[in-house]
């Protein structure tokens, strides 16, 4: 009797479902396979952790910017660094391969002695830096950074990292000091150029001043010489006028028969002997000149005629000649021309020279620059960073268990295939 159709489909559907009890029984029956797989994987993990892999250690340095560490540097003319600017530039130097290469080239023997032959070639130096050295990225509102180093047991990692950090800080401080020194030198050079310009300008001004003074003196001398000549001509004219007056007086005296000096009273008595003290003959209120007599008038006229061209030293002539002598010997021009050094008389020049003296004394040494402060220095850790033995053993246990279960199910699968083939052959036969 055939089974109902719905019964058959139900039976086929239930035969295809997974029975958890069968799985548990299969795992239980294959526990030896699983245990062997776990033991094998744990053995491989322990062998790798303790005998095959190289322990890698990790150490680091945390540092931050130093408040007020750049005050001495920023006191230099033309230098202005903020804490964040210097901190960021220092961090960039730490993360630079060229900087590490310079560090290595500075003292390769000392570095090789603590790294023990790991940096024999350029490629090894490059590989060591890019694979072992790392620096944390800047984060917002964080004022500290960390540089870390991974190293093996053959390397004294903390010493390498500490030496590299100190060397970079010293080199950067020296660089900042050199920049400040160059800024000072540039300022001094600029001031010297200005001093030379002021000196040339002053020399041009002095030459122009001398020319102006000489021209003024030349004009003044010409004017005074004209005045002097006019005064002399005036004096000659006065003498000529005097001669003319004396001639007229002499003619009058000759007609009156006055040979000797006389007075109107004596002239009225017609006396021969006269005792006259004659004074103020040029006064308008005095006696006429002819009362001096022909002899006196003739004598004076002859003397005046003889000395008509003779120089006379009137007060005005003496004054003009004195002014001419002063102008011909201008002491101001002589003093300016005899100056061997013009710089004491240039105020701008002296101010710039004083600035240069101050700048020359304004020097900063690298020891006065404090860029960063180490929060903690690199030290030897208690254990290696990798491999992590406990993690490897845990993963070995999990991997061993999974591999054992797979092996059990694989063996059951092979066994089922064999049984199927045997039953199929029996049915066919």
Of 69-78, 167-176, 343-352, highest mean pLDDT: 167-176
**pTM to 2 decimals?**
0.59
Q: Is residue 19 part of a domain?
A: no
Query: What band does 274 get if pLDDT is binned at 50, 70 and 90?
Result: very low
Q: Is residue 303 part of a domain?
A: yes
Question: Diameter of the chain by CA atoms?
Answer: 221
Q: Is residue 72 part of a domain?
A: no
Q: Is residue 241 part of a domain?
A: yes
Q: Is residue 421 part of a domain?
A: no
Could you report the per-residue pLDDT of 395-406, keeping only the tens digit for each?
777 887 787 777
Could you report the per-residue pLDDT of 313-344, keeping only the tens digit for each?
778 888 888 888 888 887 887 788 788 888 88
Domain count, the chain: 1
Between 164 and 326, the more confident residue is: 164
Q: Is residue 211 part of a domain?
A: yes
Tokens of 275: 């005792």
Is 205 strand, coil or helix?
Answer: helix
Q: Residue 1: what pLDDT?
A: 39
Phi and psi angles of residue 285, each rounded to the nearest 5 degrees, phi first: -90, 0
Domain that holds residue 325: 206-356
Phi-psi region of 293 (alpha: psi -120 to 50; beta: other; left: phi over 0): left
Between 148 and 410, the more confident residue is: 148
Of 222-236, 272-286, 374-388, highest mean pLDDT: 222-236
Is 213 strand, coil or helix?
Answer: helix
Query: What band does 165 get if pLDDT is binned at 50, 70 and 90?
Result: very high
Q: Residue 387: what pLDDT?
A: 61
Query: What band does 290 get if pLDDT is binned at 50, 70 and 90?
Result: confident
Q: Is residue 266 part of a domain?
A: yes
Could you report the per-residue pLDDT of 2-35, keeping only the tens digit for each?
444 443 443 444 444 555 666 666 666 667 777 7
Q: Is residue 427 part of a domain?
A: no
């Amino acid at each position: 009797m055939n089974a109902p159709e719905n019964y058959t489909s139900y039976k086929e559907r239930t035969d295809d479902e997974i029975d958890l009890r069968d799985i548990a029984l299969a795992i239980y029956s294959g526990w030896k396979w699983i245990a062997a797989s776990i033991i094998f994987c744990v053995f491989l993990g322990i062998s790798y952790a303790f005998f095959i892999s190289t322990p890698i250690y990790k150490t680091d340095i945390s540092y931050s910017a130093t408040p007020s560490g750049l005050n001495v540097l920023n006191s230099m003319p033309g230098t202005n660094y903020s804490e964040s600017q210097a901190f960021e530039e220092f961090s960039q130097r730490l993360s630079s391969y060229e900087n590490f290469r310079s560090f290595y080239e500075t003292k390769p023997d000392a570095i090789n002695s603590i790294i023990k032959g790991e940096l024999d070639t350029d490629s090894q130096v490059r590989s060591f830096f890019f694979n072992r050295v790392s620096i944390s990225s800047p984060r917002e509102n964080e004022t500290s950074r960390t540089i870390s180093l991974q190293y093996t047991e053959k390397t004294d990692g903390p010493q390498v990292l500490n030496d590299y950090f100190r060397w970079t800080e010293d080199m950067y401080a020296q660089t900042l000091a050199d920049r400040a020194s160059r800024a000072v030198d540039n300022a001094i050079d600029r001031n010297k150029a200005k001093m030379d310009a002021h000196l040339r300008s002053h020399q041009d001004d002095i030459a122009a001043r001398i020319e102006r003074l000489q021209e003024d003196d030349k004009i003044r001398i010409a004017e005074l010489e004209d005045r002097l000549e006019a005064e002399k001509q005036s004096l000659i004219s006065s003498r000529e006028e005097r001669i003319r007056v004396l001639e007229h007086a002499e003619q009058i005296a000759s007609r009156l028969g006055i040979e000797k000096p006389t007075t109107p009273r004596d002239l009225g008595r017609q006396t021969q002997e006269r005792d006259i003290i004659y004074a103020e003959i040029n006064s308008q209120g005095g006696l006429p000149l002819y009362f001096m007599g022909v002899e006196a008038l003739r004598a004076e006229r002859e003397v005046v005629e003889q000395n008509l061209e003779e120089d006379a030293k009137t007060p005005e002539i003496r004054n003009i000649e004195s002014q001419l002598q002063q102008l011909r010997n201008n002491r101001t021009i002589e003093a300016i021309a005899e100056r061997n050094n013009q710089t004491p008389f240039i105020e701008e020049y002296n101010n710039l020279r004083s600035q240069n003296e101050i700048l020359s004394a304004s020097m900063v040494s690298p020891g006065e620059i404090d860029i960063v402060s180490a929060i903690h220095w690199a030290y030897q850790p208690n254990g290696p960073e990798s491999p992590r033995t406990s993690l490897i053993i845990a993963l070995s246990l999990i991997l061993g268990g999974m591999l054992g279960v797979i092996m059990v199910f694989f063996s059951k699968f092979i066994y089922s295939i064999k049984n199927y083939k045997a039953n199929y052959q029996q049915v066919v036969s």
